[in-house]
A and B are shown apart, each in its own frame.
Chain A
Amino acid sequence: MRSLDIAATGMLAQQTNVEVISNNIANMSTTGYKRRRAEFQDLIYQNLRRVGSQSADTGTVLPSGAQIGLGVKTAAVYRITEQGNLQQTENRFDLAIRGNGYFQVLLPSGETAYTRDGTFGLSPEGTIVTAEGFVVVPGITIPPAARDVTINASGEVLAKIDGQTNPQLAGQIQLAIFPNEGALEAIGDNLFLATPGSGEPQLAAPGQPGFGQVLQGFIETSNVNVVQEITALITAQRAYEMNSKVITASDEMLSTLTRLR
């Protein structure tokens, strides 16, 4: 009764599916969160009768073979990098990216991480840092005398200083884009690391061709669509039940056999 094992692979896959969906729902209001989707693939097949084999000496070829598949497996849990909604916060160090790109963050370990979460603030030294206090590359320091800070769409950080007519350029925020952003490794805290699959990051100022623009006073909400997640949850639950039904039926067949006298 391989159908027991086959249905078990189906139940395991749907369990993964529910886990992914619950993570999406849990992160519904996480800034810059990208929803994930579990992807499934059919497992290997057993050939009872190979396609294209001959059924008689005269060269009659079977029109189709007999193949039995052995179930399903999780191929990938992939991120859907669709743009999230932009929410106005009025906070002058809240930045949202409209379009492609990631902010670069310098981790205490010296590695560079990437994030879409632009809820930034200032460190005691006046440097722009993330909510966890990590420095946003390239480390822009706002002069202490600055009265107001403007960050424009192309990422220039302009400080307005009392007594000066023209705002002073404090630094330039750069964005990173990847050939395959789906392969970035999530490490929690809304941060990602580059992997061989994602390719080398390309750096440029926001607004360059292929790069998104920066919006001051906005944050990017998660792109989780609750209706979509709930319907996906219902589908996953029903699929789980159907697989368990197969197990019940196979079990009943086996018990019919053992009851034979």
Chain B
Amino acid sequence: MDSPGYVVLSRLALQPRATELLAHNIANADTPGFRAQRMVFAAHLDRQRGTGAPPGGAPVAYAEDRASWRDTAPGAMQRTANPFDIAIAGEGFFAVETPRGERYTRAGRFSLDGDRRVVDMEGHPVLDVEGRPIVIAAADTRIEVLGDGTLRSENGIIARLRIVRFDDQQRLRAEGDRLFAADDPPIPVERPALVQGAVEGSNVQPVIELTRLMAELREFQFAAQFVEREGERLSSAVERILRRRGTV
């Protein structure tokens, strides 16, 4: 009898999680290579034994946060003048070596470390097609990154960047520090399209995030109001029943 209250409670309990995702997106509106996330809600059917749907009615469906979904649209390119800022136009990820294994990133803001290796902001070495860190010799002063990922200087070709893609980007795990971990084997991209001196920004679109935020706030208030009305309905039902019993 009191399932409407529980159904709308399932929505009320999930709403803060969706807002947390939104807050995370807005907080990262300025993080290079960041991918916006969305919550996917799904109907979760009530499996009650021995009871079917009432005639002409639908089964009782609760809301469930099925999954978070990553927006894979590319972010806007920001021009910098740094020769080690590299953006990927189109699909693909850079591969970096971390103590936890190989990780992937879209944020191509690299620099040299004290051993003249090309590293990311956390100091993880960027890998070449052979899976080795890339070392720039002291004599190489003019670094050029060609569109296909080849690093070249005035002394010839140095290395080629490892650019990989995944059949299913949704299965990548975000680890923070702009890195993604993968369970599936990565597939090397044969013809990557790289741009030197630019960095891919975050693909968060503030307009969308803010309107979603407004909508979610109102949905939450709507659901909360529903809970309140449902409570009133129950209490008035009880009252009426009691009144009738009292008159008889």
Contact = CB atoms under 8 A, between A and B. Distances in A.
A242 interface: yes
A123 B121 CA distance: 42
Interface stretch (A42-50, A105-113, A151-159): A42-50
Given A210-B141, A238-B206, A41 B26 contact: no
Which of A41, A48, A259 neighbours the largest number of chain B CB atoms within 10 Å of its CB?
Answer: A41
Secondary structure of the B contact surface, majority rule = mixed
Interface string A135-149: 000000000000000
Contacts of B183: 51-52
A239 B30 contact: yes
A188 interface: no
Given A51-B183, A250-B23, A256-B221, A64 B70 contact: yes
Given A196-B114, A260-B224, A6 B82 contact: no
A39 B113 contact: no
B171 A51 contact: yes
A197 B209 contact: no
B170 A63 contact: yes
A257 B224 contact: yes
Given A10-B26, A10-B27, A202-B138, A67 B20 contact: no
Contacts of A200: 114
B120 to A, nearest CB: 9
A243 B81 CA distance: 29
Nearest to A259: B224
A190 interface: no
A80 B81 contact: yes
Contact of B37 (A7, A67, A242, A253): A67
A209 interface: yes
B176 A10 contact: no
Contact of A13 (B27, B37, B40, B115): B27
A6 B27 contact: yes
Contacts of A52: 171, 183
A75 B177 contact: yes
Contacts of B98: none
Contacts of B115: 179, 199
A51 B171 CA distance: 6
Contacts of A48: 17, 65, 68
Nearest to A1: B16
B15 A198 contact: no
Interface residues of B, number: 66
Interface in A227-254: 235-236, 238-239, 242-243, 245-246, 249-250, 252-253
B114 A64 contact: no
B175 A246 contact: no
A88 interface: no
B11 to A, nearest CB: 13
A235 B13 CA distance: 34
B19 A44 contact: no
A17 interface: yes
Interface of A: 1-4, 6-7, 9-10, 13-14, 17, 39-45, 47-52, 62-72, 75-76, 78, 80-82, 100, 179-180, 182-183, 196-200, 202, 209-210, 235-236, 238-239, 242-243, 245-246, 249-250, 252-253, 256-257, 259-261
Given A6-B24, A40-B32, 12 more contacts: A7-B26, A14-B30, A63-B67, A64-B70, A64-B170, A71-B27, A180-B113, A197-B113, A199-B116, A235-B30, A239-B29, A260-B224
Nearest 9 CB-CB pairings of A with B:
A10-B27, A64-B170, A3-B23, A199-B114, A6-B23, A69-B24, A210-B141, A72-B27, A44-B176
